[in-house]
Amino acid sequence: MLAKINSSAVVGLEAVPIEVEVDIATQGLPNFTIVGLPDKAVEESKERVRSAIKNIGAEFPAKRITVNLAPADLPKEGPSYDLPIALGILMASEQIKTDVSSYVFIGELSLDGRLRHTDGILPQTMLAKERKYKAIFIPTDDSKEAAVVKGIDIFPVSSLFELFNHLLEKALIKKEKNIPFKAATDNLFELDMEEVKGQEQAKRAMEIAAAGGHNILLKGPPGAGKTLLARTLPSILPSPTFDEALDITKIYSISGLLDGNFLITKRPFRSPHHTTSNIGLIGGGVNPKPGDISLAHRGVLFLDELPEFPRHVLEALRQPMEDGFIIISRAHGRVNFPSKFMLVAAENPCPCGYFGDPSHNCTCSTSQILRYQKRVSGPLLDRIDLHIDVPAVKVEKLVKDNQIAHSESSLSIRKRVQKARDQQTKRFSKIKKKILTNAEMGNREIKLICKLSEECEELLKLAVSKMNLSARSYTRVLKVSRTIADLDDSPDIKTSHIAEALQYRPKTDNL
């Protein structure tokens, strides 16, 4: 007899439907075969399924069993097909006769029939809803993750025995209640802006970067506070919207990094070490997985000691920084991962770190300084909106016990950032293209939104000729100016906004 069970797989960031076909033939020697491009984990499911069926007291048929995972040209990986295969065998052997054509089944089985955690449940639940299935049966450990999706019944299954009794209507499984989305309202961050002493200009630049989603480079001597500033950035970022939270959670779900969180309501902060590989940063592998640039989607990617990263790794950032996504091609196909992140980079001016510091003597030669500064290419630097010098903090500010009382807290800064983001959301809601921040604007949106007065145009023309700005730098100055105007609650870009934006371009822009 033939049985068909609905399941799904994750390809890249999206789920695709998989139909598990199970045929039990009475002719021929007993055998158990799985076809449809299964990997080793899927092949090994034969032993897990056999043991699980026997251990729940059901009969495993000693006949010729053929399992087909369709479509057959799509590579299948992982143990999530255990549950649909086991259910297909029970139905094909007529131990279960319930109609399951409107249900989806996903889960890894242990030898005693219990269901284990499975990665990628959120995108697969979203697919089931889009395909208008009535319900999805998933491991109990993953039910909270799926419950954020409305419009489909979620059944948490603890074991194959429990599902067996549910389908026979002996003991019904209770549906998981939908979990309403709640934006993060707590202020529990590792660091707060009020802990940063001095560095008022750098704080202002960080506020602008947070308000518009801009990339920022912090440059200064060791101990000036570059890393501290970068790590306080999440505390002034607004909470993600529901759609953003879903996008973030989907990435962490397929990567197996949710750590018990059913929905991520805080923006991610990724800080890879400079020894990270190209695949670790960009993503990839035989079966491509997201890298740090995708794990930082809608959040922050912090690259400390930027020149220490291998040049080929940094150059790989150029395309995803510009496009907001990365396409990884392999022999069996290509996947698309989102990468709309804020890049925060920190670097020293030279190998010893004290070039240009009035209080320390630089011990580097001219050739050493030039070689060090050339480790980061001009085109990559040109993609960074804000370049800010972070000088060493004067000792007077460090020793004052009451200095922290006069520093502005992250909460008050975040209120201004949120107000600026709200203005951008309202502005971009009128545009069909999905844009959330000023940094994401393309040339068409810039022409539509960043209209300038004659005085502003003259200032920009002068800046282009004096500072030798590239066309990309020109558009980035306009984007930053628009963000500064939003923080100033100004409907139009003024010369003061452009003048401040120009301060954050490199002093020698020969890119």
The CATH number of the domain where 200 resides is what? 3.40.50.300
How far is CA 395 from each of CA 123, 226, 421, rounded to the nearest angstrom? 52, 17, 36
Q: What's the total number of domains in the chain?
A: 3
The token duo for 46 is 């034969």
Residue 249 Cα distances to 49, 111, 253, 261, 276, angstroms: 30, 30, 6, 9, 23
Q: Residue 444's CB: how many other CB atoms inside 10 A?
A: 10
Regarding whether 267 and 120 lie in a shared domain, the answer is no
Burial 173-185 (b: 16+ CB within 10 A, else e): beebeebeeeeee
Are 423 and 483 in contact by the 8 Å Cβ rule? The answer is: no
Domain membership flag for residue 430: no
**Mean pLDDT within 11-21:** 93
User: Residue 67 domain-assigned?
Assistant: yes
| Distance between CA atoms of residues 385 and 439, nearest Å | 9
Same domain, 151 and 68: yes
Q: What is the DSSP letter of 192?
A: -
Instruction: Please check whether residue 482 is in contact with residue 493, taking contact to mean a CB–CB distance below 8 angstroms.
Output: yes
Task: Give the domain-ending residue among 167, 183, 204.
Answer: 167
My answer on whether 233 and 355 are in the same domain is yes
Q: Name the band, by pLDDT with cuts 50, 70 and 90, for residue 510.
A: very low
User: Residue 398: is its pLDDT beyond 80?
Assistant: no
Across 293-305, average pLDDT: 97
Q: Is residue 187 part of a domain?
A: no
The reply to whether 454 falls in a domain is yes
* Model pLDDT for residues 192-234, shown as the tens digit of each residue: 998 888 889 999 999 999 999 999 999 999 989 999 999 999 9
Q: Kindly state whether residue 75 falls inside one of the protein's structural domains.
A: yes
Is residue 433 domain-resident?
no
Specify whether 304 is located in the same domain as 343.
yes
Q: Which of 360, 394, 412 is the last residue of a domain?
A: 412
Same domain? 291 vs 375: yes
Q: Is 217 left (phi over 0), alpha (psi -120 to 50) or beta?
A: beta
Domain hosting residue 448, numbered range = 441-511
Domain check: are 380 and 470 in the same one?
no
Provide Rg for the chain, Cα atoms: 28
Contact in structure between 332 and 401 (CB atoms under 8 Å): no
Residue 99 CB contacts under 8 Å (≥ 6 apart), including other chains: none
Is residue 188 a part of any domain in this protein? no
Q: Residue 183 domain-assigned?
A: no
Q: Do 380 and 266 reside in the same domain of the chain?
A: yes
20's tokens: 């598990």
Q: Is the pLDDT of residue 473 over 50?
A: yes
Same-domain status, 378 and 250: yes
DSSP 173: P
Q: Tell me which of 150, 167, 184 is where a domain ends.
A: 167
Does residue 45 sit in the same domain as residue 120? yes
Tell me: do 210 and 148 sit in the same domain.
Answer: no
Any residues with CB less than 8 A from the CB of 183 and at least 6 apart, and which? 239, 240, 241, 265
